[in-house]
């Protein structure tokens, strides 16, 4: 068996570390936070800030790792690629890692390849941001060029709003760049595309529902299968695969996000080069029986990924309801008591549920990915029924907040 290096070892990486160990591998993990939940279960844990590529390389070399990967953390993707290149390990390449994490570079590449996407322009300061908004028109979306998890993402209806939010968007970007895009009030889809030896295929497509208001970019419900069908579904799959090829991903798991208008026109939001966070790996496992962590570990080690590991074993309708504030199932306010998950887990159709809520924390209206404080996954014969079951089960968690 092999030694693999996990870059980033927070809550969302913890399960991947355990899974890699189950598969017989030794896991070396780095995270800047010495108390990171994943470090506690790794075979070798080092408190290293992964933005320091040289330090991560040093850890990898010292432990003679044979593969390097990340799960969920977009900021770790270029680091993983650089470490792999430096240590001569399999990787997606520094260039592809850049194109798949830097939204302006990505959009330019997709434009060259003829992949449909929102109008866009880059911005570094007030002047270029205003020019960008003039080019895209309103409504628009302002976001950091290279961040994630909906940090610094704003819906913008006027130049005043752009001016007001620009500094936050720029501040969330390690390179002080932002992008302005035309906003499309469309159905959003999440895809999982797997590339092997330069050939990509779509594994799953699911609806990603979002709340109204400031949290407009946060996925608070996932529903599988996606609600599109026929020609539109085929076109969405074709565009997802085209985008992955255009960005140069030859071996890896890609996470395309698409917008689909009522008239069937499709635009790419972005394509990430990693296993997504937010329970997407669970979605894939319950929906089609494929273990993305196993696929990612094999690819990181340069091992072949046979069909029986990546092709759907079945198709199971399901829904994931994240635990978020109203109009989600949770109240807002300071938490004074969190009830048992048992009734949630015992509810009809529920296959998995968890919560990270802690007494003393404040539940805020949904604005960021991080405002999702747990989730419920339910299956059923149809996606509509699965969603109903997940909603019903989510309401069974009793959370008490301080009276306002
Ligand atoms: N141009 C757009 N039109 C409509 N919605 C958008 C647009 N850009 C982003 N969004 C919404 O915001 C979310 C986050 O944007 P994204 O570019 O994926 O940034 P992040 O890196 O934070 O995930 C998207 O998943 C989508 O829901
Ligand atoms: Mg995204």
DSSP 327-354: TSSBPPEEEEEE--SHHHHHSTTEEEEE
Cα(19)–Cα(5) distance, integer angstroms: 13
**Residue to substitute in 144, 150, 172 for testing ligand 1 pocket (most ligand atoms within 8 angstroms of CB):** 150
397 touches 339 (CB < 8 A): yes
Instruction: Return the ligand number nearest the Cα of 216.
Output: 1
Place of tokens 């302006």: 104
Position in ligand 1 atom list of the atom nearest CA 149 = 22
* Burial call 291-315: b when 16+ CB within 10 Å, e when fewer: ebbbbbbbbbbeeebeeeebeeeee
> Which of 7, 4, 149 lies closest to 70, judged by CA?
7
> According to the model, what pLDDT value does residue 298 have?
98
List the end-to-end C-alpha distance of the chain, in Å, as a whole number: 55
Per residue in 78-122, pLDDT tens?
999 999 999 999 999 999 999 999 999 999 999 999 999 999 999
At residue 393, φ and ψ (nearest 5 deg) are -65, -40
- What are 111's two structure tokens? 């434009």
Cα(21)–Cα(153) distance, integer angstroms: 36
Distance from chain centroid for Cα 181: 20
> According to the model, what pLDDT value does residue 212 have?
87
> Which of 342, 331, 375, 334 lies closest to 356, judged by CA?
375
Query: Which helix (H) or strand (E) element contains residue 245?
Result: helix 230-246
Distance 142 CA to ligand 1 centre (A): 9
Cα(340)–Cα(360) distance, integer angstroms: 17
**Cβ-Cβ contacts under 8 Å for 208 (sequence gap 6 or more):** 188, 189, 190, 219, 221, 222, 257
> According to the model, what pLDDT value does residue 359 have?
97
- The pTM of this model reads 0.96
> According to the model, what pLDDT value does residue 327 have?
81
Cα(195)–Cα(252) distance, integer angstroms: 5
> According to the model, what pLDDT value does residue 258 have?
98
Q: Whose CA is nearest to atom 2 of ligand 1?
A: 183
> According to the model, what pLDDT value does residue 68 have?
98
The sign of the torsion formed by the CA atoms of 179, 181, 187, 189 equals negative
> According to the model, what pLDDT value does residue 180 have?
98
- The shares of helix, strand and coil residues in the chain, as percent rounded to the nearest 5, are 35, 25, 40
The single-letter DSSP state of residue 214 is: G
> According to the model, what pLDDT value does residue 362 have?
96
Distance 269 CA to ligand 2 centre (A): 7
**Residue to substitute in 116, 211, 217 for testing ligand 1 pocket (most ligand atoms within 8 angstroms of CB):** 217
Position in ligand 1 atom list of the atom nearest CA 74 = 21
Cis? peptide before 194, omega within 30° of 0: no
Cα(173)–Cα(171) distance, integer angstroms: 5
Tell me the H-state helices in 100-153. Answer: 103-112, 126-136
Pairing outcome for strands 187-196 and 178-182: unpaired
Cα(109)–Cα(117) distance, integer angstroms: 11
- What are 28's two structure tokens? 């070396």
Distance 269 CA to ligand 1 centre (A): 6
Distance 258 CA to ligand 1 centre (A): 9
Distance 378 CA to ligand 2 centre (A): 24
Place of tokens 């990509």: 200
**Angle between helical axes of 126-136 and 159-171 (0-180°, round to 10):** 120
Distance 348 CA to ligand 2 centre (A): 31
Radius of gyration of the chain measured on its C-alpha atoms: 21
> According to the model, what pLDDT value does residue 278 have?
82
* 79 strand-pairing partners: none
* 93 strand-pairing partners: none
- Neighbouring C-alpha atoms within 13 Å toward the C-beta of 298: 19
Tens-level pLDDT at each residue, the chain (404 residues): 899 999 999 988 999 999 999 999 999 999 999 999 999 999 999 999 999 999 999 999 999 999 999 998 999 999 999 999 999 999 999 999 999 999 999 999 999 999 999 999 999 999 999 999 999 999 999 999 999 888 999 999 999 999 999 999 999 999 999 999 999 999 999 999 999 999 999 999 999 999 988 889 999 999 999 999 999 999 999 999 999 999 999 999 999 999 999 999 999 999 999 999 889 999 999 999 999 999 999 999 999 999 999 999 999 999 999 999 988 999 999 999 999 999 999 999 999 999 999 999 999 999 988 899 999 999 999 999 999 999 999 999 999 999 87
> According to the model, what pLDDT value does residue 148 have?
87
Residues with CB under 6 A from ligand 1: 118, 141, 143, 148-150, 153, 181-184, 188, 210, 217, 257, 259, 269-270
Distance 166 CA to ligand 2 centre (A): 19
């Amino acid at each position: 068996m092999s030694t693999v290096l996990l870059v980033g070892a927070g809550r969302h990486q913890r399960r991947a570390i355990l899974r890699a160990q189950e598969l017989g591998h030794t896991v070396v993990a780095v995270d800047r936070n010495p108390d990171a939940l994943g470090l506690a279960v790794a075979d070798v844990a080092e408190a290293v800030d992964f933005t320091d590529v040289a330090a991560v390389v040093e850890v990898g070399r010292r432990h003679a790792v044979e593969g390097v990967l990340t799960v969920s953390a977009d900021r770790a993707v270029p680091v993983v690629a650089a470490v792999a290149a430096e240590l001569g390990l399999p990787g997606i390449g520094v260039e592809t890692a850049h194109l798949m994490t830097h939204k302006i570079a990505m959009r330019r590449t997709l434009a060259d390849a003829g992949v449909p996407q929102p109008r866009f322009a880059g911005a570094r300061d007030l002047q270029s941001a205003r020019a960008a908004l003039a080019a895209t028109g309103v409504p628009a979306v302002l976001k950091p060029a290279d961040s994630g998890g909906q940090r610094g993402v704003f819906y913008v209806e006027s130049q005043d709003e752009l001016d007001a939010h620009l500094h936050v968007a720029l501040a969330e970007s390690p390179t002080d760049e932002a992008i302005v895009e035309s906003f499309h009030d469309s159905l959003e889809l999440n895809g999982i595309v797997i590339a092997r030896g330069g050939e990509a295929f779509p594994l799953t497509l699911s609806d990603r529902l979002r709340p109204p208001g400031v949290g407009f970019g946060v996925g608070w419900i996932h529903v599988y299968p996606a609600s599109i069908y026929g020609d539109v579904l085929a076109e969405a799959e074709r565009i997802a695969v085209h985008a992955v090829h255009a960005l140069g991903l030859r071996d890896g798991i890609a996470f395309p996000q698409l917008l689909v208008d009522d008239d069937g026109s499709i635009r790419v939001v972005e394509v990430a080069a990693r296993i997504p966070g937010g329970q997407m790996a669970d979605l894939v496992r319950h929906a089609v029986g494929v273990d993305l962590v196993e696929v990612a570990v094999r690819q990181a080690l340069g091992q072949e990924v046979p069909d029986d590991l990546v092709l759907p074993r079945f198709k199971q309708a399901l829904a994931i309801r994240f635990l978020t504030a109203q109009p989600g199932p949770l109240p807002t306010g300071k938490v004074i008591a969190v009830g048992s998950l048992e009734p949630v887990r015992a509810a009809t159709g529920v296959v998995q549920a968890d919560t990270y809520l802690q007494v003393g924390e404040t539940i805020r209206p949904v604005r960021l990915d991080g405002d999702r404080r747990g989730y419920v996954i339910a299956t059923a014969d149809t996606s509509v029924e699965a969603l109903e079951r997940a909603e019903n089960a989510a309401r069974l968690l009793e959370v008490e907040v301080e009276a306002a």
